[in-house]
Amino acid sequence: MRRKLAAGNWKMNGLGADLAELERLAAAPAPSQTGRLICPPATLISRATLVAGDIAIGGQDCHAAQSGAHTGDISAEMLADCGASAVILGHSERREDHGETDATVAAKVAAAWSEGLLAVVCIGESLAQRDAGETLALIGSQLAGSLPDTATGANTVIAYEPIWAIGTGRIPTLEQINEVHEFIRTTLTDRFGGEGHAFRILYGGSVKPENASEIFSVANVDGALVGGASLKADDFQAIIDALDAA
């Protein structure tokens, strides 16, 4: 039985005062069926671990190298050292803004595993790729290139985020979400056999309290990677509640 996961990606948002929202979230009763993960900016990770209770704290990226002359980067070892237990990798904003390739993501995934971090690997298509009918081919290519052969359900989570739905208020239809999540599951089981059923597949892209229950009703949606709505305890708690009840 896959344990559901509600993951929050604060992106480049949050100062020390915003940890009050995390404290409020941690004070709520822990959901029975759902794990919780918050990925604040790197500047807040250490402080976040002090107030997060049983909410896991993660990073938003890591370098593939353990150390070196990489100004401004952060290694998986550094994330683990400051209390992180997970890291988001291959987010579309990293792929687009920083030119990250599938091979780059795969190297980062291996680095995350070497430090005992859960890798949350993001995949997803642009609107142009969706309109051109390239979605499934692209998803298959990203999965093939971004996941090392030793990926398991214990060390890796897949997050499907259609780029055109991130922060736009637009979401795919439930049929479109189902099609992609079913394809991801089939692709994972074809490659990893029975272990493919152990991977959690999250949906991300304009997930809000108002649409969460509908999204979580779709087969093979094991949780969500939430952006803006994870910044406010009340909004994220409503999404967690919807997921736990699904």
**Cα 99 to chain centroid, rounded:** 19
Tokens of 187: 């692709």
Which residue among 21, 100, 125, 161 is the active-site one?
A: 161
Which residue among 63, 91, 100, 115 is the active-site one?
A: 91
Signed CA dihedral, 198, 179, 215, 164: sign only: positive
Tokens of 123: 């995949």
Residue 29's CB: how many other CB atoms inside 10 A? 7
CA distances from 189 to 22, 183, 197 (A): 36, 10, 6
DSSP run (H or E) holding 174:
helix 174-192
Question: Is there a catalytic annotation at residue 91?
Answer: yes
Tokens of 154: 């214990």
Residue located via tokens 């400051």: 82
Cα separation of 123 and 135, whole Å?
A: 10
Asked whether 61 and 45 are in contact (CB, 8 A), the reply is: no
Catalytic residue set: 91, 161
